[in-house]
Every structure is written in structure tokens, then in C-alpha cells.
Structure 1
Amino acid sequence: MENQNFEVRANIKFLTKLDWKPGKIIETLQQVYGDFSPSKSVVYDWIKRFKDGREDLKDIPRNGQPLTATNERTLALVENLVDEDRRITIVMRANETGISHGSAFSAHWVPKALRKDQLHQTAELSLAVLTKIKSNESEFIDRIVT
């Protein structure tokens, strides 16, 4: 997405330097980018910036709270908390780590792969179930509730 923003801004800057009218720039961007073209207000803002002498295509950093939930240390801390207690709540995560509830929610750890011991245990249980199904032990399959 950032690459497309950079590309769009470069095009706006180029067309502005050629003295194209804003309406024509917007129309051209809509032809090229379709549904992904920037809004009219965004295009007008960038045209004004370039006419005022701005050369840089990057966003200017804004003030505000830093993104604490996305740094490696905080993510590792949340992962350890979840490993210790799978039932830990978002409020408890936020209180333990000192991050906001929203950040604690977005820092939720979701396992992408089973650990070796979990994989081994899952395989053993699956084999046990298959064995019972094949032997029809006490009509095992009929007792499964889904």
C-alpha cells in the first residue's frame, strides 16, 4: 500500500509540475487506479503541497502515542503471558504489560504451528480414535457428539 501511495504522489507531483488542472489529474488517477485511486480531497491536498514547494513524497511523521504493541519486546511478553495461561483476558494482558486494551487485543498471540510435543500428542490421539473406529469398539462412532 505504501508503494502505491508513493507512486500516486509521484504522479500527482509530476502532473502538477506540468500545470495540469486538478480535475484532470483526478480523472487520470481514477482511470489508472480505479477503485484504488485516492479521494478528491487527498489529491487536492497533495496538489497544494507540491504547489507550495514541497518536494518530498513521504508522509510527515505525526505526533501521538507510539505503537507499543508492535515492538518485538511487547509481542514476546504477550506471547509468554498467553503461554503461561491460555485463558488470560485482554484486560489482564493490558494490565500486565502496560499497553492499552486495544493494543493488548491486537497483540493477541495466535499459534501458527504446533510445537513438537503438541504435534506428537495430536498424532497419538488421532491414531487412537482411528483404531477405535476401525475396530468398531462398542460402536464408538455412534457415541461421538458433534
Structure 2
Amino acid sequence: MTIPAKDMETINEQISKSPSYSTVKQWVSEFKKGRVSTSDGPRSGRPVEVTTPDMIEKIHQIVLGDRRLKVREIAETCKMSYERVQHILHQHLHMEKLCARWVPRLLTVDQKLIRKNTSIVATAKINDLKFELMPHPPYSPDLAPSDYFLFPNLKKWLGGKRFADNEEVIEAVNGYFEELDESVYRDGINRLEHRYEKCISLGGDYVEK
């Protein structure tokens, strides 16, 4: 069945307004613990409903100081609700969390220029080496081995660990990868062929497994 383009626009608009997976997961966890309301409960300290320029700036500085902090940790530091901090991060600071780090969602003019110049240099080098440049597909985490089998396991292994600085993180991650048997990498690459075939059979749709 083919969905009319107008209906697809409406569907995509509704999806864009829906809560993120992490937000839904957080609420499911809260309701399983016995929570029956979506309203913020009473808290000590600064009122959670106040979103002032000073508080926005404070959260901004906290994130710039450590881009790997979790929303919960920021909320505890500022004595605000999880939802309010998340709102400030997304709606006021326009930040998204990518690869466990908070980054600006909207690129500045300088950032766009750097990306453009880097792409020009990379393209020139590819042409100089006589490599064939293939069309770049949309971001496909289901077809990138690092996304579907390598990094998820790394994130589980890092769960609950704390590091004093970047050097400790780099050393820990390098040690993690060095201890993996070569069969782990081989099996991950081999599963890619199955995912390619399934993607083709699904007409380009995302592959779950």
C-alpha cells in the first residue's frame, strides 16, 4: 500500500513532535516504580519550574566542562527535575547527545565552513589517489558494524565506570579493544553481508537484526 505524500508529511510531523526513546524509557521506568503522575513532585532547593537565563547559562557551563555528563547528573547538581534539564538542553541550548557527548544541534557558520573545507580536501585526495567515489547514503547505523555490534558493547562495558580525565578513558578503551579476540571483529563484519541482503529485500528500510 502506497501512502500519499501529504499523509506522509503529516506522519513525519507527528513523529518529530513525539518524545524521544530515552524520554519514554525514563517514564516507563518511573511508572514501574509506582509513579502515577507525570507532574514533577516537590523538591528541596530551587523551584523546578523556574527556567531563568542564569540557570540556562549555569547548565551550559556545566556541559562545556564535561560533555559526557548524564542529564540525571546535571539535574542533581542544579537541583532541578530531569525533564526540566532535558528541556533546557534541547530547547534553549539546542544540544543533542551524540556518541555519549553533548554537541550543538545547529552548526555555526564557522563550523559549516570547516566541514565544507575538510570535505573539499578529502575529495581532492580521493581523486588524487584514483579511488572511485561512491554516492554517500543516508546515515545508516543498522549497516555500520561499529554502530550495531562494536560500540553498543563498549557502552555496556563502560556503564557505571568513572574516569578522572580523557587520558584514563582513552587508556581504558584501548585496553578493551586490545583484549577482544579477532573473531569478534570477524563475526561483526560477516554479519554485515546478512544485513546488506536484508536491506535489499526490505527495499531500503532499516534492518533490525
Do the structures match in fold with TM over 0.5?
A: no
Indicate the structure (1 or 2) with the bigger Cα radius of gyration.
Answer: 1
User: TM-score of the superposition, structure 1-length normalised?
Assistant: 0.42
TM-score normalized by the length of structure 2: 0.31
Report the structure, 1 or 2, having the larger helix content.
Answer: 1
Identify the structure with bigger relative contact order (alpha carbons < 8 Å, sequence gap 6+). Answer: 1
